[in-house]
Amino acid sequence: MALGTILEEKEFETVRKGLEDAAPNAFWMNCEVRFHKGDIIAYIGQGDPTRLEEILQIFLDWAKSEPDWLAVPPKATQEGLDRMYWEQLPQDDGSLECADEFCQRHRISFSVYCRKHHFESTRHKICPFEETRRTTIHSGLSAV
């Protein structure tokens, strides 16, 4: 429920009531969040039938304590996803030239393109990122 929202990294204090009471018609509830790789992926609300409104209210109080609780976090935006993709692309391997005829950079591992042109060929858009890491510029004098 929370993954892909700004709530995925928000602290939640588990609420448990009446769980120690074993009587069949006891009032009880359990509100907690589940994590996957450090992010909250679900809000879990359980309880006896009289507790539904309270369970939902606990969730809403928690969620709405963030003024923009329905906002999408930067890493879930297209730009954030593009940046994550760009940053995981490997360095050039320092051997062959990029397959783009006007490019002087070296291709990256497992590609015929440099990072920039690999990004553009796989994402089908202009690469908005600049190479900030070490880049080998082809001298035109390399041995073949």
Residues near Zn ion, by CB under 5 A: 98, 100, 103, 105, 114, 117
DSSP one-letter string for 38-81: TEEEEEEEEE-GGGHHHHHHHHHHHHHTSTTTTPPPGGGSHHHH
Min. distance of Cβ 130 from Zn ion in angstroms?
Answer: 13
Min. distance of Cβ 89 from Zn ion in angstroms?
Answer: 12
Min. distance of Cβ 105 from Zn ion in angstroms?
Answer: 5
CB nearer to Zn ion: pick between 39 and 100: 100
Min. distance of Cβ 131 from Zn ion in angstroms?
Answer: 10
CB nearer to Zn ion: pick between 30 and 121: 121
CB nearer to Zn ion: pick between 1 and 127: 127
* DSSP letter, residue 72: P
CA angle 32, 36, 7 (to 5 degrees): 60
- The rounded distance, in Å, linking the Cα atoms of 59 and 3 is 15
CB nearer to Zn ion: pick between 37 and 134: 134
Of 64, 51, 49, 41, the closest CA to residue 15 belongs to: 51
**Identity of residue 109:** S
Q: What is the greatest pairwise CA distance in the chain?
A: 84
